[in-house]
Chain A
Amino acid sequence: MFKLERRYERSRYAGLLVTTGSLLAALLFCAVILALAGANPWQTYVAMVKGAFGGKYEFSETIVKAIPLMLCGLGVSVAFRMLFWNIGAEGQLAMGGFAASGVALFVPQAFPNLPSWLLLPLMVVAGFVAGALWGMIPALLKAYLKVNEIIVTLMMNYIAVLWVEYLFYGPWKDPKGYGFPGSALFTQAAWLPRWEGTRVHGGLIFAIVAAIAIWLILARTKWGYEIRVIGENPTAARYAGISLARNILLVMLISGGLAGLAGMAEVAGISHRLQKGLTVGYGFTAIIVAWLGKLNPGGVLVVAVLMAGLLVGGDQIQITMGLPASVASILQGSILFFMLGGAFLTDFRVRWVSRARLPAAPSLAKATPEE
């Protein structure tokens, strides 16, 4: 029969081997599903890769989707580093988008003399602060009342998402929008600059700067050191006089703030209004991104692009091969599943043990008449 055995030693290349192995296994698994759905797996994969990375336009669309994944993924990963399970990036993103839209829609009216270059910085601050404050609620509850953050962050997603929906269906709805659910278009001053001929916007710069900053914080600062110590051994952190509560609050400011920034970048870089489609699950996919990126800022950026490629490629095969886009979701899910399974296999090995080799019943036989 098959048996699981803990590995007490790990081979040096286990990590790399397992990652590639898991990826291949996931592709193979999905190939079977594709075949069952009547599609040619190889062609489908080729179409997906082409659709996501095959040309300048395709690649630019992938980057567009990668931007919010990067920002949310970075935010989520700092919190995870400290064992604070923030799964509320989706809600924090929504609140960031809401606050940035509020600034874009109402500040120019209220302060007509405001220099127009100031509008975007104001939106950045508003987006970041709103996400951070939204993240602060579960952080305060956890730090001072020991309330489980998983539940709170998860539930607060729904509040935020529905609040935003209420706004663009209700009070903020554009009266000239022919009933379309969305706010009025922002003034041009509230638009993030774009790369020539693509939809890639300044949010990419935010993500790259954030990744570098987080790397610097973790590797080079006292605060990053505290985060690492807490994440690895909270008891030792307490023993060393590191305040857990203070760090939870600080980390969630960053974590929620980055997700909020993602929301700001979405409204200011892509839709130019608050509308349906702001919350399409980037905050949840970001959890996968953070995990597969091993919580490293660099890793998160790379994985975000690959995940975005999967999303864009999924849309593409819908068009070119007439397959449902959910194929991409299946692939995404199975990659995560196989990766986690693979991580398990670095710690355990599966072995075939024949019945004959099982250890004999305890050698107490002479003392006890066997039952």
Chain B
Amino acid sequence: MSIEPSHDQAAVRLVGITKRFPGVQANDGIDLDVRPGEIHALLGENGAGKSTLMNILSGFYQPDEGQILMDGKPVTFRSPRDAIAQGIGMVHQHFMLVDMLTVAENVTLGMESPRFVLNLPATERKIAELSQRYRLQVDPRARIWQLSVGEQQRVEIIKMLYRGAKILILDEPTAVLTPGEVTDLFAVLRQMVAEGTSVVFISHKLEEVLSISDRITVLRKGRVVATVEASAVTPVELARLMVGREVLFRAEKQALPPGEPLLQVVGLKAANDKGLLALNGVSLAVREREILGIAGVAGNGQKELAEVITGLRPSKEGQVMICSKDMTNCSPRQIIDRGVSHVPEDRLGMGLVPNLAISDNVVLKKYRRSPIARGPFLDRSSIDQFADGLIALYDIAAPGHSTAAKLLSGGNLQKTILAREISAEPKVLVAVHPTRGLDVGATEAVHRMLLEQRAHGAAILMLSEDLDELLALSDRIAVMHGGRVMGIVDAENASLDEIGLMMAGSLSQTAVEAGAALTEERG
């Protein structure tokens, strides 16, 4: 291999990168080049090695083999500090901000200069300039815990720009954003590449990748399958490259007659973590063999609704009925025993025990019952057997059932939770962002499983920000805004416009009509 320094087009070039973890070859001889001023997307199945490769490029991991070349010269990054010194910065999927500090403090945290005296006003000024230049709106004095996820992401990006990043790596940045925030982010990225910055971008959403990137590199099982121009491929081709087979983008939903309501919520009121009213009189019902989708911009009470139903958050007023029994403010244990499964939003914080093995994690809710439990004892071999079954059935990429959960890739964490919650064959399933972070193949599989549960008679409450997913799977869609249900529409003949309006806070047409009829009657 001969690379002449002066003719190297790449801002950075990875050559033959190999990285092994115990039991896994995460990267296997990967070549990749990033050009100045391009948006380069990285695609691949869950566990294909995307995050690992980017962690190597940004100095978090060291490669076992291979080289990183900048201007044709090999560089070694022993830490993220070294990488950022060369202008390479990464924004992780799980943000790395200190909640109690302000934006400005977070941005300067860990920097070499200033060393002793913090000149916060100057920092704040620079942050303001950066945010103006790239239209990254944030208040430098706000504390991180006060910010939405989208705003926190902007802080992470500013942090990297402040440190002089010329190559910005974003690991699944859009997974946590609302459609509007995605549009904003893309405008920022376009502005940055116009000024010569390069962006490496990981995502599982093919349309998104095609619309924003210049070139796309597809990884499969740690190797590069292809690097293509975005203008020259279709979503179907990309999916085939990633998965190695055809992917059905539409799940086939049978028409099923819904049965009795299994989950009923009446006039529910509850506070959020800050003590403010997050649910302000929510009423809805989910019937047997039915998927009720909940649409809405993040932070309008969806999370609290899921938590009140599952017993994790007390309600102040109202009722939760599960299988026709009043379960309001019952303990999580009683609600689990009543047949409720819950796929929570926060995977590592709530859904899993990161330091325990996969096998310990999949029995988190059934360790009390036979055959997992035998009297006061746990039956290790039946736990392991159960875990192996789920790993195979749900296609979880892991060296084995005794691997610690925290070592799984983002998508495989999600699969582990889904496997546990769906395999419980719940009567009621509360699923928050069930396919967030999953690759196209896994998304398809999860959609199929949700529909299977529906066919088996489960009542499914699905909270998602992905309208396409909601429209494809739900029977009905309820739109939440400001802690209320603005309206419930049939998914079949719902219009995106109507849903969009309700998400922005206007009452549904039917509700308005009903209201009008009521006033007429009275008047």
Q: Are chains A and B native binding partners rather than an unrelated pairing?
A: yes
List the interface of chain A (C-beta within 8 A of B): 3, 5-6, 8-9, 220-223, 225, 228-229, 232-233, 235-236, 238-243, 351, 353, 357-364, 367-368, 371
- Interface mask (B322-357 → A, CB under 8 Å = 1, otherwise 0): 000000000111111100001010100111111110
A-facing residues in B99-150 (Cβ within 8 Å):
111-113, 122, 125-126, 129-130, 133
Contact A228/B312 with A9-B62, A221-B377, A222-B378 known, Cβ cut-off 8 Å:
no
Are A239 and B376 in contact, with the CB atoms below 8 A? no
Which of B113, B331, B335 contacts A361, CB < 8 Å? Answer: B113
Nearest A residue to B366 by beta-carbon distance?
A240
Q: Is B94 an interface residue (CB 8 A)?
A: no
Which of A8, A242, A243, A364 contacts B130, CB < 8 Å? Answer: A364
Max chain B Cβ within 10 angstroms of own Cβ: one of A8, A232, A241, A371: A241
Show 20 residue pairs from A and B whose CB-CB distance is below 8 angstroms, ordered by the A residue.
Answer: A3-B81, A9-B60, A9-B61, A220-B380, A221-B376, A225-B360, A229-B353, A229-B356, A233-B353, A236-B349, A239-B351, A240-B364, A241-B332, A241-B365, A242-B333, A357-B85, A358-B112, A360-B164, A363-B164, A364-B130
* Distance in Å: Cβ of B348 to nearest Cβ of chain A: 8
Apart from A5-B78, A241-B331: 11 A-B pairs, beta carbons within 8 A: A9-B62, A222-B378, A232-B356, A235-B346, A236-B352, A240-B365, A241-B311, A241-B332, A241-B336, A359-B84, A367-B129
Contact A5/B79 with A222-B373, A239-B342, A362-B163 known, Cβ cut-off 8 Å:
yes
* Distance in Å: Cβ of A17 to nearest Cβ of chain B: 18
Nearest A residue to B82 by beta-carbon distance?
A357
Are B376 and A222 in contact, with the CB atoms below 8 A? yes
Are A232 and B353 in contact, with the CB atoms below 8 A? yes
Q: Is B162 an interface residue (CB 8 A)?
A: yes
**Cβ contacts under 8 Å, B336 to chain A:** 240-241
Nearest A residue to B307 by beta-carbon distance?
A239
List the interface of chain B (C-beta within 8 A of A): 55, 60-62, 78-81, 84-85, 111-113, 122, 125-126, 129-130, 133, 162-164, 310-312, 331-337, 342, 344, 346, 349-356, 360, 364-365, 367-368, 373, 376-378, 380
Are A364 and B126 in contact, with the CB atoms below 8 A? yes
**Cβ contacts under 8 Å, A364 to chain B:** 126, 129-130, 162
Nearest A residue to B348 by beta-carbon distance?
A233
**Cβ contacts under 8 Å, A220 to chain B:** 377-378, 380
Which of A225, A235, A243, A362 contacts B350, CB < 8 Å? Answer: A235
A220 to B376 alpha-carbon distance, docked (Å)? 9
Are A359 and B85 in contact, with the CB atoms below 8 A? yes
**Cβ contacts under 8 Å, B112 to chain A:** 353, 358-359
* Distance in Å: Cβ of A3 to nearest Cβ of chain B: 8
Max chain B Cβ within 10 angstroms of own Cβ: one of A242, A243, A364: A364
A361 to B126 alpha-carbon distance, docked (Å)? 12
A232 to B373 alpha-carbon distance, docked (Å)? 21
Contact A236/B377 with A359-B85, A360-B164 known, Cβ cut-off 8 Å:
no
**Cβ contacts under 8 Å, A225 to chain B:** 360, 367, 378
**Cβ contacts under 8 Å, A363 to chain B:** 164
**Cβ contacts under 8 Å, A242 to chain B:** 333
Max chain A Cβ within 10 angstroms of own Cβ: one of B61, B81, B111, B130: B81
Are B85 and A367 in contact, with the CB atoms below 8 A? no
A5 to B164 alpha-carbon distance, docked (Å)? 20
A362 to B85 alpha-carbon distance, docked (Å)? 10
Which of A6, A223, A228, A241 contacts B360, CB < 8 Å? Answer: A228
Which of B129, B162, B163, B356 contacts A228, CB < 8 Å? Answer: B356
**Cβ contacts under 8 Å, B163 to chain A:** 359, 362
* Distance in Å: Cβ of A306 to nearest Cβ of chain B: 27
Are B351 and A8 in contact, with the CB atoms below 8 A? no
Are A236 and B350 in contact, with the CB atoms below 8 A? yes
Are A362 and B333 in contact, with the CB atoms below 8 A? no
**Cβ contacts under 8 Å, B355 to chain A:** 232-233
* Distance in Å: Cβ of A277 to nearest Cβ of chain B: 39
Are A368 and B113 in contact, with the CB atoms below 8 A? no
Are B126 and A362 in contact, with the CB atoms below 8 A? yes
Are B113 and A223 in contact, with the CB atoms below 8 A? no
A158 to B2 alpha-carbon distance, docked (Å)? 75
* Distance in Å: Cβ of B237 to nearest Cβ of chain A: 35
Which of B130, B133, B312, B352 contacts A238, CB < 8 Å? Answer: B312
Are B333 and A368 in contact, with the CB atoms below 8 A? no
Are B368 and A243 in contact, with the CB atoms below 8 A? no
Max chain A Cβ within 10 angstroms of own Cβ: one of B61, B78, B360, B378: B378
* Distance in Å: Cβ of A347 to nearest Cβ of chain B: 13
* Distance in Å: Cβ of B271 to nearest Cβ of chain A: 17
A192 to B48 alpha-carbon distance, docked (Å)? 63
* Distance in Å: Cβ of A11 to nearest Cβ of chain B: 11
Max chain A Cβ within 10 angstroms of own Cβ: one of B133, B354, B376: B376
**Cβ contacts under 8 Å, B85 to chain A:** 357-360
Which of B60, B122, B310, B365 contacts A371, CB < 8 Å? Answer: B122
A219 to B350 alpha-carbon distance, docked (Å)? 23
* Distance in Å: Cβ of B380 to nearest Cβ of chain A: 7
**Cβ contacts under 8 Å, B354 to chain A:** 232-233
